[in-house]
Chains A and B, each alone.
Chain A
Amino acid sequence: MDNTAVSPVLEMRGISKNFAMTAALTDLSIKLYPGEIHGLVGENGAGKSTLIKIMTGVYAASSGEILIDGEPVTISSTQVAQKLGVAAVYQEPMVFPDLDIAENIFISHHNLGPVMNWRALYKDARNIVEQLGVSLDVERAASGLTLAEQQTVEIARALSLKVRILIMDEPTASLSAHEVRQLIEIANTLRKQGTSILYISHRLEEIFEISDRVTVLRDGKHISTNAIGAVTRGKLIGDMVGRELDEFFGRVPSQATDHTLISVRNLSKADVFTDIHFDVRSGEILCFAGLIGARRTDVALALFGIAPADSGEIVFDGNPVRIGDPQQAMDLGISYVSEDRRKFGLAMAMPIFANISLATLRRYLNRFGLIDRQGENAAAEKYRKQLNIRTPSVEVDVGKLSGGNQQKVMLGKWLNANPRLLIVDEPTRGIDVGAKAEVHQIIRELAKSGVAVIVISSDLPEVLSIADRIVVMREGRQMGIIDGDIATQESVMSLATQFDDSKSAPQPQLV
Chain B
Amino acid sequence: MPSSSKLAGALRSYFGGWELFLLAILIVTIIANAAISPFFLTIGNQINLFQLSIEKIIVALIMTLIIINGEIDLSVASMMGLAAVTFGWGFQQGFPMPIVIALVFLVGLAGGAFNAFWITKVGIPSLVVTLAMLIGFRGLARVLVEDRGITDFPEWFDALGQQPILGPFPLSILIFFALLIILIVVLQFSGFGRKVYVIGNNKDVAAFSGINVGRVKAILFMAAGVISALAGLLYAARVGAVRGDVALGFELDIITMVLLGGVSIFGGSGSLFGALLSILIVLNLRNGMALANVTGHVQTGVIGMLLILSVLLPNIRAYFGNLYAGRKRLKQRDGKRA
Q: Residues of A with Cβ closer than 8 Å to B? A: 304, 306, 325-327, 329-330, 336, 338, 343-350, 354, 358-359, 361-362, 364-365, 368-371, 413
Contacts and interface: CB of A to CB of B under 8 A. Distances in A.
A343 B191 contact: no
A330 B212 CA distance: 13
B207 interface: yes
Nearest to B191: A365
Given A344-B204, A349-B268, A350-B201, A326 B191 contact: no
Interface stretch (B73-81, B192-200, B232-240): B192-200
Contacts of B192: 369
B207 A371 contact: no
B153 to A, nearest CB: 38
A354 B198 CA distance: 9
B209 interface: yes
Contact of A306 (B189, B198, B201, B207): B207
B190 A348 contact: no
B202 A326 contact: no
A306 B209 CA distance: 10
Contacts of B212: 327
Contacts of A330: 210
B205 A346 contact: yes
A347 B198 contact: yes
A369 B216 CA distance: 14
Given A344-B205, A347-B201, A349-B201, A327 B210 contact: yes
B194 A354 contact: yes
Contacts of B206: 347, 358
A106 B189 CA distance: 60
Interface of B: 185, 189-192, 194-195, 197-198, 201-202, 204-212, 268-269
A371 B190 contact: yes
Contacts of A368: 190
Nearest to A327: B210
A40 B190 CA distance: 56
B208 A345 contact: yes
A327 B215 CA distance: 13
B209 A358 contact: yes
B13 to A, nearest CB: 9
A358 B191 contact: no
B191 A362 contact: yes
A415 B231 CA distance: 46
Nearest to A413: B209
Nearest to B205: A347
16 contacts: A304-B208, A326-B210, A344-B205, A345-B208, A347-B201, A347-B268, A348-B202, A349-B268, A354-B194, A354-B197, A354-B198, A359-B209, A359-B210, A365-B190, A368-B190, A371-B191
Contacts of B208: 304, 306, 326, 336, 338, 344-345
Given A327-B210, A347-B198, A350-B197, A364 B205 contact: no
Contacts of B205: 343-347, 358
Nearest to B212: A327
A34 to B, nearest CB: 45
A350 B193 CA distance: 13
B178 to A, nearest CB: 17
Nearest to A369: B190
A347 B268 CA distance: 9
Contacts of A350: 197-198, 201
Given A348-B201, A349-B269, A350-B197, A369 B191 contact: yes
In the A-B complex, list the 5 residue pairs whose CB atoms are closest, starting with the nearest.
A347-B201, A359-B209, A326-B210, A327-B210, A365-B191
A358 B207 contact: no
Contacts of A358: 198, 205-206, 209, 211
B209 A370 contact: no
A358 B197 CA distance: 11
B94 to A, nearest CB: 42
Contacts of A346: 205
A349 B68 CA distance: 13
Contacts of B185: 370
A344 B269 CA distance: 19
B271 to A, nearest CB: 14
A347 B202 contact: yes
Contacts of B198: 347, 350, 354, 358
A370 B189 contact: yes
B203 to A, nearest CB: 10
Given A347-B197, A359-B209, A369-B191, 9 more contacts: A326-B207, A327-B210, A330-B210, A347-B205, A358-B205, A358-B206, A362-B191, A369-B192, A413-B209
A345 B207 CA distance: 10
Contacts of A336: 208
A349 B14 CA distance: 16
A325 B268 CA distance: 24
B195 A361 contact: yes
Contacts of A347: 197-198, 201-202, 205-206, 268
B268 to A, nearest CB: 6
B64 to A, nearest CB: 17
A364 B202 contact: no
A307 B231 CA distance: 42
Contacts of A325: 210
Contacts of B204: 343-344
Contacts of A345: 205, 208
A221 B334 CA distance: 30
A361 B207 contact: no
Contacts of B190: 365, 368-371
Chain A CB within 10 Å, residue with most, of B185, B192, B194, B197: B194
Contacts of A354: 194, 197-198
A326 B268 contact: no
User: Which of A336, A345, A347 neighbours the largest number of chain B CB atoms within 10 Å of its CB?
Assistant: A347
Nearest to A301: B208
B85 to A, nearest CB: 35
A344 B203 CA distance: 9
Given A306-B208, A326-B210, A371-B189, A361 B202 contact: no
Contacts of A369: 190-192
